[in-house]
Amino acid sequence: TADLACSALRNAIALRNPDGTVVHSDRGSQFRSGMFVELLACNGLQGSMGKVGACGDNAAMESFFALLQR
């Protein structure tokens, strides 16, 4: 839900200084909700979404974050 996505984003914002960060997500309705988009804007964050049906887009980001975690 949008509430869960916003709660997770608020937690991430509280733990870091993310001003100017790009937040990449899939095209789920929770990430397109007015509440989530407003939370991004109020915290100086930029939303990013892949094209519809572009599974390679998410795969590239997931691979990138997997490398960071290692």
CATH of the domain at 59: 3.30.420.10
Residues 6+ apart with CB under 8 A from 39: 6, 9, 10, 45
Q: CA 20, 64, 28: angle at the middle one, nearest 5?
A: 70
What's the pLDDT score for residue 56? Answer: 65
Q: How much is the pLDDT for 48?
A: 86
pLDDT in tens, 1-41: 899 999 999 999 999 888 888 888 877 788 889 999 999 99
- Mean pLDDT within 53-63: 70
Domain encompassing residue 37: 2-69
Please report the DSSP string for 1-38 in residue order: -HHHHHHHHHHHHHHS--TT-EEEE-S-HHHHSHHHHH
* Contact (Cβ atoms closer than 8 angstroms) between residue 23 and residue 45: yes
Residue 15: predicted pLDDT: 92
Provide the pLDDT for residue 14: 93
Structure pTM?
0.68
Q: How many domains does the chain have?
A: 1
